[in-house]
Amino acid sequence: MAHITFWFDFASTYSYLAAMRAAEVAAQRGVGVTWQPFLLGPIFGAQGWTDSPFNIYEAKGKYMWRDMARLADAEGIPFNRPETFPQNSLLAGRIACVGQDEGWIADFTRATYTAQFGNGQDISTAADLTLILTSLGLDAADVLARATSADGKLALRASTDAAIAAGVFGAPSFTTHDGELFWGSDRLAEAVDWAATHAV
C-alpha cells in the first residue's frame, strides 16, 4: 500500500492544519499515513536558532499568525493563538511515540493540536496532557510513565535523528518511500499524490 510519513512537532502551528487533514486527504487516494513526531529544537539549534524563526524574524511571525487565521477559517477549523509560543513539545512528542506503538497516535495528535491552536490552551505539562489522554479514554498515568521511561525518551530522540537523516528542516514535512520530501501543510496533497502515483 502506498504511504507517506507525516513529520510533525507539537510546537508547529502549520502542523496543526496538516494533522487535521492528513488522514482524510491520504485515505481519499488510498494512501496510508505514518504519524511521526520529532523535535524541531535540535534542528533549529544546529542552525543557530534558539527560538522559533517566527519569533526571531518579526515580519515572518506577523505573517504566520495572520496566515494561520485565514487558513483555519478556509478549512473550517477553530483557531485561537495560545499565550505561549512556541510551547515545549517534548512531553507531547514522547507521548505520541507511545501512541504510535499502540495505535492511538492520530487521535492524540489531533486532540493535542486542537487544544493548543484550536482552543489556545497550554499543552506542555503533564497536567495538560493528562487531561487530553483521559479525554481519549487512556490511562494517563500509565502512558506518562512509559513516555518518560528511558525507552520513551529514546524513541523521540531516534525519530529526530531519522528526520535529520531524511533531510527534514521544518514542520510539517512529508516523505515518501522513494525519498521525496515535501515541506509545509500546503504540500500535503502533493505528497499524497506522489505516493499514490509512484507506489511500488
Q: Which residues are catalytic?
A: 12
> What one-character DSSP code corresponds to residue 3?
E
Of 32-40, 55-63, 116-124, 135-143, which segment contacts a second copy by CB under 8 A? 55-63
Which ranges constitute the DSSP H helices of the chain?
Answer: 13-28, 41-46, 53-56, 58-75, 90-102, 105-113, 126-135, 140-147, 150-165, 188-197
Our finding on whether 198 is near a second copy (CB under 8 A) is: no
| 36 Cβ neighbours under 8 A, 6+ residues apart | 5, 6, 7, 8, 100, 159, 162, 163
Strands 3-8 and 173-176: antiparallel
Our finding on whether 62 is near a second copy (CB under 8 A) is: yes
The binder of a second copy chosen from 28, 32, 50, 60 (CB under 8 A): 60
Tell me which residues in 111-170 interact with a second copy (CB under 8 A).
164, 167-170
The binder of a second copy chosen from 23, 183, 196, 199 (CB under 8 A): 183
Report the chain's terminal Cα–Cα distance, integer Å. 8
Considering the complex, state which of residue 59 and residue 200 has its C-beta at the smaller distance from a second copy: 59
Considering the complex, state which of residue 46 and residue 158 has its C-beta at the smaller distance from a second copy: 46
C-alpha cell read off for 32? 496510508
Our finding on whether 90 is near a second copy (CB under 8 A) is: no
Nearest Cα to Cα of residue 99 among 129, 68, 56: 129
Considering the complex, state which of residue 101 and residue 190 has its C-beta at the smaller distance from a second copy: 190
Residues that bind a second copy (CB under 8 A): 43, 47, 57, 59-60, 62-63, 66-67, 70, 164, 167-170, 180-184, 186-187
